Chain A
Amino acid sequence: MMPDRNQAPTYQPITGFDLITPRHIVLSNGLNVFIFDSGEQEVVRAEWIFDHAFVHTENPLLPTCACEMLLEGTTSYTSRQIADTVDFYGAFLIPQYDADRSTLSLFSLAKHLDKLLPLVKEVLVDSIFPDRELATYIRNSKQKLQVSLEKNSFVARRLFNAALFGDTRYGKCPEIADYESITRQDLISLFKSQYTVANCTLVLSGHITEAILGRVAKHFGDEWLAGEQALFDNVPAFPNIAEGGGVILEERADALQSAIRLGNRSISRSHPEFPGLQVVNTLLGGYFGSRLMANIREDKGYTYSIGSGLGSLKHGSFFTIASEVGTAVTSATLNEVEKEIGRLKEEAVTDEELTLVKNYMMGSMLGSLENVFSHADKFKNVYFSGLELDYYRYYTDVVRNIDTKEIQRLANAYLDFDSMVKVIVGKM
């Protein structure tokens, strides 16, 4: 017998979710460790997270290079020995640079952790950035950048960041020639001041036993000298953005598609209106059913994908919309984006659409908490924004209770197409 297919099954809105509160310990040298112990798989993720401090310069090239070269040798281990050891134990040791922090992440089976922790400690206190490895790094990075510069979307992001954040750490992009200026001496001196206990937070998640904690306390507490105070960080000064935002066009004669990126500086996670603005962002371009996707992809077929997002940084934040569209419809796409932003500001969203977006956001939050690693990720988001885990209770309250009036008010307060920076790489 056929069920009644015209009738959608009943459903329950998601009203909340449980977060794991980490255990917090402070090691003998003052290192803060946050522990998320759970999960039946015997795996561990350990993340050593170092704050950046830009003291003399805002150029991000040196800290990027220091981070990416962390595994290239110490006094006792060569690059090859480090690689061999990590790979032999089936582990992944990954340095990762982002605008505010450098992170060294270790993914390992719990049973092999013993063998790997001393190596990580050696890397964090005694990296030496050998000249030969540096030369290889520079040569390969230049080649990689050469390829990336041929990608319109990559170039659009660079131009956008530069327009919003100018000559600061968030806006400055390396040119190929800049790599030549990196010296081993500069790297070592940056490494010594940045990779310190006072600048570090350790987050452990997975199958964390007392025995593992004992090892961690030994290698990263007792054996790691507290050393210097945390660095004092400059607060970067961002440029004024011209009235009318301005169009930045980089012509590419042979382009089949134009990369479009537009947006403005915005508010950070710690701002009370951030969760509300996230709802506005989701409506506009934050999910598959968003207005930008519904109009520009699903109705017009101009693009494979278009989306918007909010980025929250330590000293700043931004709102951005990005897409790659057929060159013939570059300006038509901009017109539609303008129209969609205008519609959010001028017309109240229907209750039906708003309910859908709220339910989607709550479901997606629930879905993003599927294992112990994702709980740790949620914690890092708030911790490094200077917030507590109860931020998510506030977030839930805002998302569940926001009404159509507030959506319209926020859209008017934070979205202004005319004053957005508009970058186009391709053809106009």
Chain B
Amino acid sequence: MVTFNRFTLANGLRLLVHEDPATPMAVVNILYDVGARDEDPDKTGFAHLFEHLMFGGSLHIPNFDTPLQRVGGENNAFTSNDITNYYITLPAVNLETAFWLESDRMLSLAFSEKSLEVQRQVVCEEFKQRYLNQPYGDVWLRLRPLAYKTYPYRWATIGKELSHIEHAQMADVRAFFDKFYVPSNAIMVVAGNVQTENVLQLVEKWFLPIPSGQKPLRELPPEPEQKEPSREVVHADVPLNSIYIAFHAPGRTEEGYHVIDLISDLLSQGPSSRLYRCLVKEQEIFSEINAYQMGSIGPNLFVIEGKPSPHCTVEEAEEAIWRELELLKNEVVEAYELNKVKNKVESTMAFSEMVILDKAMNLAYFELLGDADLLNQEVGRYLGVSPADIQELAQRLFRKENSSTLVYIATNDAG
């Protein structure tokens, strides 16, 4: 149970406070309701590039990191297709420094041309390090456009291609800030060794004077229902063949989300899971295999990925995956097995409540989904899933017409 107090400021900023006196630290987490899906298709990678620039200085503070490090704090941020999330961890006695820093960069950015130029380069190196210079690194650059036809999950957060980042201009960046970085588009969580009264005073001092701006309207093209299977085969300089199958699945706030999450656990959570037991250990068809859902707020994907054993063809391996999916469709899962994955959900939640940063991020995220208290109802939602729910959703999802398959064929035969 994560307790919190919730407020909305006159300028639209939402504030949640979670008091945890067991730690000497405090966390200030600010989630902006903007992600890669809000980008122009010709200027992708922007939300993430922008996240880098948020550390390049604001109107009154030329360098973001230095004053924070001086008071014993650390910070970082991440961008997803849905959100951009910034967080600071610092000794609770120095809490005000975090308010000073975060409010100034919400008020106005002031990074230089040089900062833009350097961060363009840094992000290009990140692009190479994570997506281009790794075996299978480009999987999401291929699988996303294969699975999505219109919805702006078609590109990865890093962007479609290096050139989009290389060509980012100051004016674009400025417009992006003005549109999305307004108080009414942000959710702030303060957690740790803090008192709500004190947090309220600080937030009124530092954030209330920021003009409210206009909460941006989100109008995204819906993803049409997939009518036939799609498939891409890549002959690449990778050491092993590899298979990815993606299915359209319920998003984070849709009916069926918790069901699909438990299906991924049945298939692939822990060493007793079905895919590992049957396909790696017993039938020895794969050397590794995983199933997961992407947790997207918009149209979601359920993905199975695996590397076939050296003696198996890609066709045999794909068939084996489909056999396991057919089992889920044709046979009702036993209560014992379903309870097993539910127990795992319960313990995972208990462990995550030991980390204040996790609690702060979760509160912000569930508030974005509609209500931070959903976090505390989450275990209950999972426990309510029945064997029939699993079977019905499996039947709805695991159809060839709902699948996008990406296959890597290894061209170098180094094994």
Contact = CB atoms under 8 A, between A and B. Distances in A.
B354 A43 contact: yes
A364 B288 CA distance: 37
A189 B120 CA distance: 56
A303 interface: yes
A90 B346 contact: yes
B23 interface: yes
7 contacts: A88-B336, A136-B280, A298-B122, A326-B128, A360-B70, A370-B25, A370-B355
Contacts of B130: 304
B355 A8 contact: no
Interface in B297-314: 307, 309-310
Interface in A1-59: 1-3, 5-6, 8-14, 17, 39-43
A356 interface: yes
Interface in A278-300: 287-289, 297-300
Contact of B277 (A83, A109, A356, A373): A83
B350 A8 contact: no
B56 to A, nearest CB: 9
Interface of B: 22-25, 59-61, 65-67, 69-74, 89-91, 93-94, 96-97, 99-100, 103-104, 107, 117-123, 125-126, 128-130, 132-135, 205-206, 209, 237-240, 269-273, 277, 280-281, 284, 287-288, 307, 309-310, 336, 339-340, 343-348, 350-351, 353-356, 414-415
Contacts of A325: 125
Given A8-B97, A152-B133, A90 B281 contact: no
Given A13-B72, A143-B240, A363 B118 contact: no
B69 A356 contact: yes
Contact of A14 (B59, B72, B96, B240): B72
Given A83-B272, A86-B272, A298-B118, A360 B72 contact: yes
Contacts, number: 223
Contacts of A371: 22-23, 354-355
B340 A87 contact: yes
Contact of A5 (B59, B69, B70, B93): B59
Given A9-B100, A301-B117, A256 B133 contact: yes
A80 interface: yes
Interface in A216-265: 254-257
B90 A363 contact: yes
In this complex, which of B104, B118, B125 has the most chain A Cβ atoms within 10 angstroms of its Cβ?
Answer: B125
Interface secondary structure of A, over-half rule: mixed
Nearest to A143: B287
B104 A5 contact: yes
Contacts of A139: 284, 287, 309-310
Contacts of B71: 11, 359, 363
A76 interface: no
A144 interface: yes
Contact of B307 (A5, A143, A303): A143
In this complex, which of A14, A150, A255 has the most chain B Cβ atoms within 10 angstroms of its Cβ?
Answer: A150
Contacts of A397: none
A147 B239 contact: yes
A146 B132 contact: no
Contacts of A17: 24
B125 A303 contact: yes
A90 B118 contact: no
B271 A87 contact: yes
Interface in A352-399: 355-357, 359-360, 362-364, 366-367, 369-371, 373
Nearest to B239: A146
Contact of A11 (B94, B121, B345): B94
B72 A87 contact: no
B289 to A, nearest CB: 11
Interface in A129-176: 133, 136, 139-140, 142-144, 146-147, 149-152
